[in-house]
């Protein structure tokens, strides 16, 4: 290649690269220009579905384009997460999910976790509550350990295998000093069947939260035994936290938005800003807290990444006490 040919090729390549960068920059600057799909890896009507729809309806006012929720249930919430993981990183396919991403990896269901996505923002946390039925002799969470020691091998705790409540009980047993060999973990396919089982007094304890158990707390069918949060909930001021009862643990379902790996930072920032503004709407935040028993907690960027790292480390520690059977 002669010097002049080399110079011409280099110049053309530089022009091409600059053009591509300019096009990409313009595209990002104009984002969004079409509807955005938000994949929710659960069926319609549950707490996860309702909360993401509520906040997204407000966020799309800032974005100027529609955010279209798509329920994609199946395979333990991994059908939807895998769909987003493998989507084009253009900002038009997002995932609304929670701790289940890490739980699926720890349970051996999939080979990826939070690090397979670009985290955008944490939006809400739903605080979990150990619960029993109204006729049970246990009145508070700090009485559970003594009750188990008095009835070894007979006390029944419900859970959905490899789900949030499975990890909740593993962590609870460790912090409360309960030997897992002394309890019976009873598996159910979904929360609804756990509610029916506790109403029928077929089990002693279940883990619920306000979206799943609130109506039963209110009518007295269920007894909340403690709040797995550093502070008491405004909607349940008479129920002490677990920490107040000497059980040093917090536990919640932490919902956030994720994008495929490689999505441009400018796009991630635009989406995070829209959801952050949505949560500043007083009507939205009031409904999240009072109707759905959750707390608003907005974290974006490095703060959200640090939260996910800490959350996954805690779940990994709890997983050491769980015998997964896939």
Query: The whole model's pTM is what?
Result: 0.77
CB atoms within 10 A of CB 310: 10
User: Exposed/middle/buried for 200, CB within 10 Å: 0-12, 13-18, 19+?
Assistant: exposed
- Biggest CA–CA distance in the chain, Å, is 92
Q: What is the DSSP string of 219-279?
A: HTSEEE--BSSSS--TT-TTSPBTGGGT-----EEEEEEEEETT--HHHHHHHHHHHHHHH
Identify any residues that bridge with 185 across adjacent strands, giving them in sequence order: 157
Give the whole-angstrom CA distance, residue 298 versus residue 275: 9
Identify the pLDDT of residue 224. 97
C-alpha to C-alpha distances, 106 to 223, 227, 319, nearest whole angstrom: 31, 25, 7
Tens of each residue's pLDDT in the chain, 326 residues: 444 443 444 444 444 444 444 444 555 668 999 999 999 998 887 778 889 999 999 999 999 999 999 999 887 788 999 999 999 999 999 999 999 899 889 888 899 999 999 999 999 999 999 999 999 999 999 999 999 999 999 999 998 877 788 889 988 999 999 998 999 999 887 788 889 999 999 999 999 988 888 889 999 999 999 999 999 988 899 999 999 999 999 899 999 999 999 999 999 999 999 999 999 999 999 999 888 878 899 999 999 999 999 989 988 887 776 666 55
Sign of CA dihedral 37, 42, 45, 47: negative
List the structure tokens of 212: 């799943």
């Amino acid at each position: 290649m002669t010097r002049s040919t080399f110079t011409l090729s280099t110049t053309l390549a530089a022009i091409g690269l600059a053009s591509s960068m300019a096009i990409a920059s313009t595209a990002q600057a104009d984002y969004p220009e079409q509807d955005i799909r938000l994949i929710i890896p659960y069926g319609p009507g549950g707490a996860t579905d309702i909360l993401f729809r509520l906040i997204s309806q407000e966020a799309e006012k800032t974005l100027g384009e529609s955010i279209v929720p798509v329920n994609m249930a199946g395979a333990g919430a991994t059908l939807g997460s895998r769909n987003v993981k493998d989507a084009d990183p253009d900002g038009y396919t997002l995932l609304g999910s929670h701790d289940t991403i890490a739980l699926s990896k720890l349970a051996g269901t999939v080979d990826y976790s939070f690090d397979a996505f670009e985290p955008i923002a944490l939006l809400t946390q739903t605080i979990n509550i150990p619960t029993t039925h109204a006729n049970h002799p246990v009145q508070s969470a700090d009485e559970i350990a003594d009750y188990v020691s008095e009835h070894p091998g007979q006390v029944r705790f419900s859970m959905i295998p490899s789900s949030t409540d499975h990890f909740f009980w593993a962590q609870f047993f460790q912090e409360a000093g309960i030997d897992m060999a002394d309890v019976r973990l009873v598996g159910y396919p979904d929360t609804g069947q756990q509610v029916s089982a506790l109403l029928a007094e077929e089990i002693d304890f279940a883990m619920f939260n306000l979206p799943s158990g609130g109506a039963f707390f209110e009518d007295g069918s269920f007894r909340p035994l403690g709040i797995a949060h550093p502070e008491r909930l405004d909607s349940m001021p008479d129920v002490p936290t677990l920490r107040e009862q000497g059980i040093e643990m917090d536990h919640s379902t932490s919902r956030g938005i994720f994008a495929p790996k490689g999505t441009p930072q400018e796009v991630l920032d635009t989406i995070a800003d829209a959801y952050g503004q949505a949560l500043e709407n007083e009507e939205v935040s009031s409904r999240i807290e009072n109707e759905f028993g959750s707390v608003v907690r907005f974290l974006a960027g490095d703060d959200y990444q640090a939260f996910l790292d800490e959350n996954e480390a805690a779940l990994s520690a709890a997983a050491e006490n769980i015998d997964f059977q896939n």
